[in-house]
Structures are given as C-alpha cells and as structure tokens.
Structure 1
Amino acid sequence: MTTAPQRASTGERQRRAVPYWTTLVVASAAQFMVILDVSIVNVALPSMRTDLDLSTAGLQWVVNAYSLAFAGLLLLGGRAGDLFGRKRVFLVGVVVFSLASLVGGLAQSEAWLVAARAAQGVGGAVLAPATLSLLTTTYTDPAHRAKALGVWGAVGGAGGAMGGLVGGLLTQGFGWRAVLFVNVPIGVALVVAAAWALVGGRPAVTRLRELDLPGSLAVTLGLTALVYGVVSSETRSWTSPLVLGPVALGVALLALFVAVEKRAARPLVPLAVFRRRAQTAANGVALLVGMGMFSFWFFMSLVLQRVNGYDALQAGLAFLPASATLVVTSTLASRLVARHGPRTLLVVGPLVSAAGLAWLSTADPGGSYASQLLAPTMLAAGGIGLVMVPLASAATAGVPPHEAGLASGLLNTSRQVGGAVGIAVLSTVAAAVTADRLGTTSADAAAAAGAAGVEALAAGYDRGMLVGAVVVACAALVALLVPRGQKA
C-alpha cells in the first residue's frame, strides 16, 4: 500500500519522510468518528431529555438537526475538497466537527444542543467525503486502492455498528455529555496527524466568486428540504402539508440545480459525471442499500430494547457479532474486488443482506437471541461488508483526480438520503401494521398494553424488515448495470 499518487506528492513525501500508510490511518480514523456519531447519540437521548428537560420535538431534533445538515451539505462538502484542496478541507471539517462536539457537550438548553448538533452535521458533511477522496487520489494502484478501501470500509462499518455499545458505556459511566466530549481528543489527534501526514495539493479555485454559488445554494437547499420533509413523516402523515410541502420544494430546487449546472461556466457538478454508467449504477445501489440497511440497525435496536427488553448496553453488546462479521466481510471484499471487480460483489452482497433481513422478519417476539437473532443479524451485516468496498470502488474508479471529491460526495449523499427515506417509509409501514393489530402507532402506548402490545410492535418491526429485504434485493438488480469488466 505504498504506491505514489502523483510525482509532486511523491517528492514532497520523500522530503518529509512520511509513510504512505499514514493517509489511510488518518482517513479511516476520521471516518470512524463521523460514522460513530450517527448512532452514539441515540442511546444517550433519555439522559439528555431528563437533564435538559427536552420536549418531544426537541428530542427528535437532536437527531434530525445532524441528519439535515449532514445530508444537505454532503455534495457541496465533497466538491469543496476538489476546489479548495483536500488537506485544507479535511482540517476544516475536523475542526468544525470537534468544536461543535465540545459546544454540544457543554449545552445548557434544548436550543443550544440542537444548534451544536447541526454544526456537527456541517463538519461531518465536509469531512466524510474528504476521507474517501483522499484515499482514491493517494492509492492509485488498483490492488493497493482495494486494500485501502477495505480498511476504510471496515472501520466505518464498525463505527456505525459500535455506536450503541460505545454510547451505552459512556452514558452509563460518565453521563450523556461524554458521548459528545469523546470527539474532542480524537479531533485534536486528527488535526496533528493530518497536518503532518497529508499532502496539501493545489486548490482549483482561490476566490469564492469562482465557485458555482447558484448551483451550490440550489443543491444544498434542495437536499435539505427533501430530507426535512422525509424525516417529518416520522411524526406526521405523508399527506400532511408539512411533509409534502418540503418534499415538493426539494424536488423543485434539485430540478433548478440541474438547469443551473447546464449553463454554468464552472459547474459544481458537471452533469457529464452521470454519463459514467458504473458511477451512476453505484449511486443507485447506494441509495437502495442505504434505505434497507439504515433501517436494519434502526429496527434491530427497537426489537432488542422494545420487544426483548434489553437496556442500551445489552443491545450494544448484542450487535458485536454483527459488527465483527461486517469487519471480516469488508476485509474479504477488498481482496475479491481487486481480482474480480466490483460488479459481482454488488450483486451478491445485497442478496446476502436481503436474506438476513427476511430471516429476521420471522423472529418470534421475545425469542431467544442465540436461536432467532444471532445468525440473521450476522448475515445481514455480512452483506453490508461485502457491499461497502465495491460501492466505493465502482463510484470512484476512472474518475479524474479533480473530481474525486465530487464522486465521494455523490456516493455519501445517495447513501444518506437513502437512509433517511428508508427509515421514514419503513417506519410508516411498521406503524401501520402495529396500528392494525392494536389500534395505536405509539410505541409507548403499545408497550403499556402488555404482551399484546409487544406482539403488535414486533409484527410492525418484522414487516418493516421484510419490506427492507425487498428494497435491498432490488439493489442487486441495479448492480447488474455496472460494467462487467470494470476493475477497482
């Protein structure tokens, strides 16, 4: 994994005697921090509510503020690395994320905490695409790139899967503020390491007026409005004006964005990028896999805690076998994709995960973890591991270095928007089944109804995972559009 990305970069690294593996370590550590934070906060929400007297809406916005800022700015954040220099943008992302975490940990009110979470989302949107573009421009040899992406994917997957466990340990041992404060020392270490290890690169633009500001504004507001409408459906009907209005506005702004990009002298997103079949197909797969697999973690957390009665720490421990499986299959995928290209794994991985989700949908309420949940959760997570590396490979292979951040931003945006849509839609499906069984969509009311309520909740979660299995299986069909001979 010591291939030189460019002549200029090689010379600079030789003068500074910086090993090439340091880029992988820095990028993977940053990815772990960002992905971990998506789920680590969830288990601390009850403690936050008690300490800060959060309203129900405020509790939801602790989660949604991060999701909105993250999803809305991912595309712009990814392109910023191409235009202003990846090292510079990476450092900005780490600093913003770490400072927002510090401010959030010091929060004394609902508004303070929600604002800090939104700022975290901004930092994450800048940082997440930078980690992938740094790897794809540093490790240009296909075999070395596949290995690097394997490590990056395994670390990121482990971060998402371990969020509940780490959050539970920190919350029980040190209080909810620790789940935010933990990012500060990690951020300081990343700034020091990145300043030493990463190559600067020459920015493509030096003045903001050279940036496609109309396009940037349209796509950012469009994605934000779209995701806002989708997450609002968690508490409102899909026919509510507060859901349909933002979704319609988001679609209109994204259509405006396409029109702006067609005429822009220096577009934020050159539309020719969508003519690359492998890249377009990879983003389609990411959207569908995100819909199903974000919902997998979401529903499994509810099954373990609402149906089986686990506390947050026990639920986190229950995810460890799945997390380990994900790491193993990600490592295996990095070897297979270097030999056979991404297409095969992009077909097989979703089918494996779909089988795991379908199996989980047959579990009995309160059934044994070892006999009913262990194997299917490992199967579902194993499929995720098989997909992560080939997705990154297909979405970035053949992309010129000056568009690497754009490709990374597109992939992250597809996955994040897919996750938001998937959780909202499949939660609606689950709630409808629960209401049909018991006459209420409230998880608290259902749980208070005793065994019948728990069975109704379990039936809803099972249906949500079954529909998720169908969605993920459809990703395998989209993967057939990836060119057969494409290599990593």
Structure 2
Amino acid sequence: MLDLALLRRPSFAGLMSGALLLQGSAFGCLVLLSLWLQSVVGLSPVGAGLALTPLAAASFVVAVFAGRHIQRLAPRLPIGGGLLLVAAGMLLLRTGMTADAGRTSLIGGLVVTGIGVGLATPMLVSAATSTVPPQRAGMAGGAVNTFRQLGMTLAIAVLGAVFTGRTTSALAGSGTVPDAGKGADALAAGQAQRLVEAAPGGHHDAAQHLVHQAFATGLDRVFLCSAAAAALGGLIVLAFVRPSNRATPGAHGGGPSQAPQPRKESVASGV
C-alpha cells in the first residue's frame, strides 16, 4: 500500500511530516475547545460549532482566492508558511485564554490558523505527487491523506493527555476538589458543571472559579504544544522540501529526444 522507500526521499518525507503536523496542530485542539465552549462558557452544541467557524471560513476564503496564485510558488513556501501561521494562530489563542475568556477571545487565533490551513492544504497532494515517480502518484496522494488522519488521531490523544495532566496539577492542593485526578477527567469529559455541583457546601463559587481557571490552564498548555508542533512542521518543510526535477513527457517538444525512440531505432538497426 505504501512503498517505504519513498520515505528516503527528503522532499516526500518532509511533506508527510508536514501533513501529519498540520492536521494535528490545527485541528487536534478543537475537541477540547468545543468542550470548553459548552461546559464552561455555556454554549449549546450548535453554538459551540458556530464559534469555531472562523477557522473554516478563513481557510475556505484563502483556498479559493489565493489558490491560483500560490500554485506559481515553490510548494515549500505556502506549506511551510501556512504551518508557521498555524503556530502563530495557536499562540494567539493561548494569549486570549484566561479564566474569564469567552467565545470572542477565539476569533483572532482561529482566523490566523484558518489562513495557514488555507495556504498549506491545497498544495500538499500536488507537491507530494510531484516528488515521486509517475507510477507512484496515486500512492503519494493516498499517503498524504493517511498521514493527515494519523496526525489528527495522534493529536487528540496526546493533547488530551497533556490537558488532563495540566488540569490535575491545577486542581491539586486546592481543597475545593477532593480528587484532582477525577476532577481533571471530569473536565476532559465536558462535565465541568457536575464538578462544581459536587463541591462541598458553600464552596460552589470558589469551585466554579477554580474550574474555569483549571480549564484555561489546560488549554494554555494545549495551545503551546500545538504551536510547537506547527512550527516544527513548518521548519521541516522549509528545510527538506525542494522543487521537483522530474521531467514531464513532451514538456520541451520531446519527440526525437525521448528515451523509447532511441531504443526502438537501435533495435531496428540491429535487425
């Protein structure tokens, strides 16, 4: 299904790394953001989805209107630059994530992240197929989608563990939440309100503030990890991906200069 020898090509390996880190860094945190919007901010599932639409909208607009122009660039520039913009978007989200943050604090970071996704995504498949032999083009296109899905899956698991570990530390020693580990699991499951209601009598307000603070602290670490992954992906793409020197048949008028013809002539002369 995948010829592993292709990964020996620096450009192909760099693009696969970029695809994996792009998907993971840009979208892996959205599950936790959706839980935060619903369990802490108090939005409905539909409202939480609408609060995340700036990312999709920015990505769509950039892909549509900039697509024809970025095709003229070397693939490593829009892909690497897009990943660096995703890193900048994650850092903006981290800046706005406080205990009293709301849905509006997400807009700037989501828009910048969406611009990065819109720049990088349209070029991934065409860039990957151009770095392999023509008979491996379909394999390369499938590999891009596989690495993207793998990046999303790994990011959800890794960032979930990062979030739980960070919120456990934030809840520990507070005295308001008896079991910090179970409290962190409740936050990761979107049960922040249940955690507040389980606080000892007279401590509901303190528990609510602590939950908001713990969730913000956990997301802060998640955004930082996502930014680091996106920046790493951008640097890998910029460092290893190079324009393809694969010859295209007939690109230079090619009839007599193509390889098969001399072979046929030599066979004919031999006969």
Structure-2-length-normalised TM-score: 0.74
Distance 1:312 1:446 in 2: 15
Distance 2:31 2:167 in 1: 16
Kindly report which structure 2 residues correspond to 1:81-480, keeping only aligned pairs within 5 A, or say none.
268-362=1-95, 363-370=97-104, 372-438=105-171, 439=180, 440-441=183-184, 442-443=186-187, 446-447=192-193, 448-449=195-196, 450-480=208-238
Q: Deviation of residue 348 (structure 1)?
A: 1.0
Report if the CA contact (8 A) 2:130-2:137 is conserved: no
Distance 1:452 1:361 in 2: 18
Runs of 4+ in 1 over 6 A off after TM superposition: none
Report if the CA contact (8 A) 2:25-2:229 is conserved: yes
Q: Deviation of residue 485 (structure 1)?
A: 3.5
Q: Deviation of residue 357 (structure 1)?
A: 0.7
Distance 2:245 2:117 in 1: 20
Q: Deviation of residue 487 (structure 1)?
A: 8.8
Q: Deviation of residue 319 (structure 1)?
A: 2.3
In structure 2, relative to structure 1, the CA distance for the partners of 1:339 and 1:431 (3 Å cut) is same
Q: Deviation of residue 423 (structure 1)?
A: 1.2
Distance 1:323 1:407 in 2: 26
Kindly report which structure 2 residues correspond to 1:38-57, keeping only aligned pairs within 5 A, or say none.
none
Identify unmatched segments of 5+ residues in structure 1: 1-267
Q: Which amino acid aligns with 1:290?
A: Q
Distance 1:483 1:350 in 2: 14
Q: Which amino acid aligns with 2:227?
A: A
Q: SS at 1:361's partner residue?
A: helix
* Aligned CA-pair RMSD: 2.2
Distance 1:334 1:293 in 2: 19
Greater share of residues in helix: 1
Report if the CA contact (8 A) 2:129-2:141 is conserved: yes
Distance 1:319 1:336 in 2: 27
Distance 2:77 2:156 in 1: 27
Q: Deviation of residue 436 (structure 1)?
A: 1.0
Q: SS at 1:287's partner residue?
A: helix
In structure 2, relative to structure 1, the CA distance for the partners of 1:437 and 1:398 (3 Å cut) is closer
Q: Deviation of residue 461 (structure 1)?
A: 1.6
Report if the CA contact (8 A) 1:353-1:469 is conserved: yes
1:100-130 deviation digits (Å, cap 9, x = unpaired): xxxxxxxxxxxxxxxxxxxxxxxxxxxxxxx
Q: SS at 1:339's partner residue?
A: coil
Report if the CA contact (8 A) 1:280-1:395 is conserved: no
Distance 1:414 1:288 in 2: 9
Distance 2:122 2:35 in 1: 28
In structure 2, relative to structure 1, the CA distance for the partners of 1:336 and 1:343 (3 Å cut) is farther
Kindly report which structure 2 residues correspond to 1:51-66, keeping only aligned pairs within 5 A, or say none.
none
Higher relative contact order structure (alpha carbons within 8 Å, sequence separation ≥ 6): 2
Larger Rg: 1 or 2? 2
Distance 2:166 2:160 in 1: 10
In structure 2, relative to structure 1, the CA distance for the partners of 1:424 and 1:271 (3 Å cut) is closer
Q: SS at 1:345's partner residue?
A: helix
Structure-1-length-normalised TM-score: 0.42
Distance 1:269 1:366 in 2: 48
Residue identity over aligned pairs, in percent, reads: 33
Q: Deviation of residue 412 (structure 1)?
A: 1.3
Distance 1:270 1:364 in 2: 47
1:443-488 deviation digits (Å, cap 9, x = unpaired): 1564322221122122112211111111111001110234443499
Q: SS at 1:364's partner residue?
A: coil
Report if the CA contact (8 A) 1:341-1:487 is conserved: no
Q: Which amino acid aligns with 1:361?
A: R
